[in-house]
Amino acid sequence: MTVAEVVERLELEALAAGELKATVAGGYCSDLLSDVLAHAQSGDMWITHQRHMNVVAVAKLKEVAAVILVRGAAPSAEMTGRARSEGVTILRSSASAFQVAGRLYQLLEG
Amino acid sequence: MKRLRADLHIHTVLSACAGLSMSPRRVVDEARRAGLALIAVADHNAAANGPYVREIARGEPRVLLGMELQSQEEVEILALFEDADSCLTLEAEVYRDLPDVNCDPELFGDQVVVDEQDNIVRRVEKLLLSPVPWPLARLVKRVEDLHGWTLPAHVDRVPGGLLAVLGLLPEGTWPEAAELSPWVRQAEAVSRWPELAKLPLLRSSDAHFPHEIGRSWSELTVAEPSLAELRAAAEGRGGRRLRAGPHCKEGR
């Protein structure tokens, strides 16, 4: 499944669109960036509340397929601007982390 | 130039998680016992007990006003001030914006302002353990605008440590220094987070109970115990030095 398909199925909003044809391999849900650095896998959809600038750097380092901000979190223009220039995809859902993770799990593993 | 000990992260009874015995008077007594020349009072998102500590201490030890602020990202930073009014201005701004969640003393403990005579002046209603809904960069900038100094508290620790929460140091010139948690060996912290090798490191007690004051400390080589000298020591100006003391071996 591609990022674009997940965007459509989970009704996500694309705040910064990188490679939407990338394959989604799995998911990781964490607000601790040190934990994401240690445990997220390349190709994961990273579900988080964090919207600090370092999210872009960590997403890029870990080569996640996309970041999904939950509960309608509003990132700064600086963060989305940086994501665009780094080719990092930032998506947003108005749903909670629990709901987004549950629906993504169903899509990928169900 | 003098070599002296500083403990720049001490809680009082205004922090719900600190002991009721942490009155301003007791903090001063214990700081003297521990041979500290400079301390900072740093309650969670609050500062109101600092002026009483300073009043009681009368320069022995010198007292910086401070707060342990928690940002929207749930990063904890120390904000240190020489000027009490600046610190109390920030305290009021932060309190106004804290979520409307009250502190239930049964669950969290008491949050009380206590004067120099050990009298309770007032209880603080809102839960001070909630994060301030300001991005980290906004908190840092506001402290700087008020002529205070900020550094990440227990930078290595989960929860609240900058590196644990944000994974990497943010871009830019902040922070100018970082505080290690009491128990981590400096070599261990630097090996886990190599970017710490670039920063002057402090260590403090993060005391919540009287006997914890001074259990770990920073060593300063400065002309006098003050915030300006501390900052000069962090920059290594004019032979001034700042060094984290040894890690604490007990009481984790």
CA torsion, ordered B185, B191, B192, B194, to nearest 10 deg: 120
ipTM given for this complex: 0.87
Choose the mutation target among A28, A31, A32, A79 for the interface with B, i.e. most B CBs under 10 Å: A32
Mean of pLDDT values over A32-57: 97
Mean confidence (pLDDT) of chain B: 96
Separation between Cα atoms, residue A85 and residue B206, nearest integer Å:
41
Can you tell me which residue has the tokens 């201490």?
A: B57
Cβ-based contacts of B158 with chain A (< 8 Å): 32, 34
Cα A7-A18-A102 angle, rounded to 5 deg? 30
Q: How many CA atoms lie within 13 A of A85 on its CB side?
A: 7
> Mean pLDDT across the stretch A2-24?
97
Kindly identify which residue of chain A lies nearest to residue B157, measuring between CA atoms: A34
**Mean model confidence pLDDT for chain A:** 97
pLDDT at position B174 is 97
User: So what's the pLDDT on residue B156?
Assistant: 94
Query: Which tokens is B147 given?
Result: 């002529």
Question: Contact at 8 Å (CB) between B148 and B87?
Answer: yes
Question: In A, which residues are within 8 Å of B74 by CB distance?
Answer: 31
Tell me what the mean pLDDT of segment B221-249 comes to.
Answer: 97
For B211-237, letters b (16+ CB in 10 Å) and e give: ebbbbbbbbbbbeebebebbbbbbeee
Which residues from chain A sit within 8 angstroms of residue B171, using beta carbons? 53
Query: Cα distance from B162 to chain A (closest Cα, Å)?
Result: 10
**pLDDT single digits (tens) B112-148:** 999 999 999 999 999 999 999 999 999 999 999 999 9
% helix / strand / coil in chain A, to the nearest 5? 40, 20, 40
We find that the CATH architecture of domain A3-109 is 3-Layer(aba) Sandwich (3.40)
Number of C-beta neighbours around residue A103 at 10 A: 17
Cβ contact A11:A93 at 8 Å: yes
Residue of B nearest to A49 (CA): B73
Which of B141, B168, B193, B196 would you mutate first to test chain A, the one with the most A CBs within 10 A? B168
Say how many C-beta atoms besides its own lie within 10 A of residue B99's C-beta: 11
Q: Is residue B100 classed exposed, middle or buried when 0-12, 13-18 and 19+ CB atoms within 10 A define those classes?
A: exposed
* Cβ atoms within 10 Å of A26's Cβ, excluding its own: 16
pLDDT at position B250, please?
78
Q: Where are the domains of chain A?
A: 3-109
Confidence of residue A110 (pLDDT cuts 50, 70, 90): confident
Q: Which residue has the tokens 């870990």?
A: A62
Rounded distance, CA B15 to CA B130, Å? Answer: 12
pLDDT of residue B158: 85
Decide: helix, strand or coil at residue B179: strand
Buried b (16+ CB within 10 A) or exposed e, B57-72: beeebbbbbbbbbbbb
The label of the residue with tokens 């959809």 reads: A45
Considering only the beta carbons, identify the residue of B73, B74, B167 that sits closest to A34: B167
Q: List pLDDT tens digits, range B48-91.
A: 999 999 999 999 999 999 999 999 999 999 999 999 999 999 99
φ/ψ of B152, rounded to 5, equals -65, 135
Range A63-68, long-range pairs (CB < 8 A, 24+ positions): A64/A28, A64/A40, A65/A3, A65/A22, A65/A23, A65/A24, A65/A25, A65/A89, A66/A3, A66/A6, A66/A18, A66/A22, A66/A24, A66/A90, A66/A91, A67/A91, A68/A10, A68/A12, A68/A92, A68/A93, A68/A100, A68/A104
Q: Which of A34, A37, A53 sits opposite B171 (nearest CB)?
A: A53
Say if A73 is an interface residue toward chain B (CB within 8 Å). Answer: no
Residue A15 in 3-state DSSP?
Answer: strand
Interface residue A78 vs chain B (CB under 8 A): no
Report all structural domains of chain B as residue ranges with CATH numbers, in order of start. Answer: 2-153+205-244 (3.20.20)
> What would the pLDDT profile of B185-200 be if each residue is shown by its tens digit?
999 999 999 999 999 9
B168 interface with A at CB cutoff 8 Å: yes
How would residue B201 be classed by pLDDT, with cut points 50, 70 and 90?
very high
pLDDT at B252: 67
Distance CA A72, CA A92 (A): 6
Average pLDDT over residues A45-71: 97
Orientation angle between helical segments A54-62 and A77-86, nearest 10 degrees? 20
For the whole model, what pTM was predicted? 0.94
Distance CA B149, CA B152 (A): 10
| CA angle, B31 then B69 then A77, to 5° | 155
